[in-house]
Amino acid sequence: MKGGKAVPKTEDTELTKAAPINSLAGLDDEIFVEFFEAVYDAVLITERDGRIIRTNGRAKDFFECTEETFCSINVLQLIEGADDEVLQATAAHLRKERHVFIEGFCKKFDSEFFPADITVNLLHVGKKAKLCFFIRNITLRNETEVKLANAREQLLQTAHSAGMAEIATAVLHDIGNVLNSVNVSCGVILEHLNKSKVHMLMKVDAMLHRSKDVSSLLTEDPKGKKFPELLHRITQEVCTERAAVLSEATNLRNNINAIKDVISTQQTYAKAEFFIEEFELTNVIEDALSIHATNAPYLQIDRSYGETPAVRTQRAKLVMILMNILANARDAVSGNPVDQRHVLIDTGMEDENVFISITDNGEGISTDNLTKIFTHGFTTKPDGHGFGLHTCANLVTEMGGRLIVESEGQGCGASFTLVFPAIPPEKSA
């Protein structure tokens, strides 16, 4: 009964026709009084018309008034939106039900309202039927629910921010690795230029320009006679240098393009809203791999893409999940020899769902940790924060799917499988 009538109107009936519920000889029965005062809720016993005839101590505390005051008022004055029509409909309903439950607001005598759960029962005293109202103040419960909702929202925002920070860290790591290659290429080019034989060609050119008789210089001068052989040697050296500089310049250009691709891909997903769109699953997987392309230069990525329909879900969210799992796989195999770091990406259909499985041959996960792996704050990394996989599990759940982890134990690698509908439920859209 929140701000209005919570029970539909029904025909009025005699309460005395209802089946008696543990009839008591009188309201002052000793057992009744003990029970009456021990009840946690505020209890108000009323006549059929709502006039209060008895209350317990809890009611006096809730409504902050005396029993004498209670006995001079009607229960309808204490419940927001209640009137005689609602009271009679409730009474009629009690012919079929043991109790009527109402959620609404009650009013203290100082006019302050509080949220309440109200249960109305029949109470038979001899041959007379009374109404018994059990009222529970749920202010604290509501406040706790609000705090929990706010805490959950804050946790999701924190986890999301941490996930985005992790992606940004991965991107910076990728760019850093590429910049190392750029630096190497620049160093090689500078080294070739510093050791270039062009200065010898410049000396020959200067001697030719100083000579008044070039033919005599080439045929009679001892140094001039060496010019043809010297020019041949210089030409060979310059051609070798040119080929080396061109090779490093090509590497330099490719590495710069790689940086541009990483930044471009990340910008695409950084700007993407979490709306549902249709796309090819393999394209998104390749996007995630391109962001991590240089993050682990010795990581062998094996692909086993099965036939899947076009997926209709949140692309940016899926990339975040894949990047996190790929980063974990990279870390898991980092202890292996460089030629034994493998990650297999497998896709396919499971019933009506699409799955992506990412399996590594890394350090594996112990049985104890398998049950904690998606718990918020749990991590086995010295510098980890425990947000990554917890966030991934939440995101997959929001997509209408699930995230499964499997491992045979330490040293046996691990497999993370995303299973989600190819076409999400309407409510997700």
Q: State CA 402 to chain mean position distance.
A: 12
Q: What is the pLDDT of residue 47?
A: 87
Instruction: Tell which residue, 56, 61, 142, has the closest CA to residue 103.
Output: 142
Rounded to 5 degrees, φ, ψ at 415 are -135, 130
The structural domains of the chain, with segments of one domain joined by +, span 15-137, 151-269, 272-421
Coil, strand or helix at 73: coil
In the structure, what pLDDT confidence band is assigned to residue 370 with cuts at 50, 70 and 90? confident
pLDDT of residue 306: 92
The mean pLDDT value for 224-230 works out to 77
Partner residues linked to 354 by β-bridges? 349, 420
Give the phi and the psi of residue 203 in degrees, each rounded to 5. -65, -45
Whole-number Å distance between alpha carbons of 231 and 241 = 15
Query: Where are the alpha helices (H) located in 196-273, listed in sequence order?
Result: 198-210, 214-219, 222-225, 227-271
What per-residue string of b and e applies to 360-391 under the rule 16 or more CB within 10 Å gives b?
A: bbbbbbeeebeeebbeeeebeeeeeebbbbbb
Estimate to the nearest angstrom the gap between the alpha carbon of 343 and the chain centroid: 24
pLDDT at 417 over 90: yes
Q: Rounded to an integer, what distance in angstroms lies between the CA atom of residue 42 and that of residue 134?
A: 6
Are 39 and 134 within 8 A, CB to CB?
Answer: yes
Q: Which CATH superfamily is domain 15-137 in?
A: PAS domain (3.30.450.20)
From the list 53, 63, 57, the residue with the least C-alpha distance to 37 is 57
Confidence of residue 31 (pLDDT cuts 50, 70, 90): confident
- Among 353, 352, 361, residue whose Cα is nearest residue 404: 353
Cβ atoms within 10 Å of 252's Cβ, excluding its own: 19
Dump pLDDT digits (tens) for 51-89: 888 888 888 888 888 878 888 889 888 888 888 888 888
**pLDDT score of 19:** 36
Whether 272-421 and 15-137 are alike in CATH topology: the answer is: no
Other beta carbons within 10 Å of 310: 12
For 68, the 3-state DSSP assignment is helix
CA distances (Å), origin 142, targets 123, 139, 325, 409? 30, 5, 38, 44
Q: What tens digit of pLDDT does each residue of 159-193 get?
A: 666 666 666 666 676 676 667 778 878 888 888 78
Kindly report the length of the chain.
Answer: 429
Measured between its terminal Cα atoms, the distance across the chain in Å is 34
Correct CATH for 272-421 of 3.30.70.20, 3.30.565.10, 3.60.60.10, 1.10.730.10? 3.30.565.10
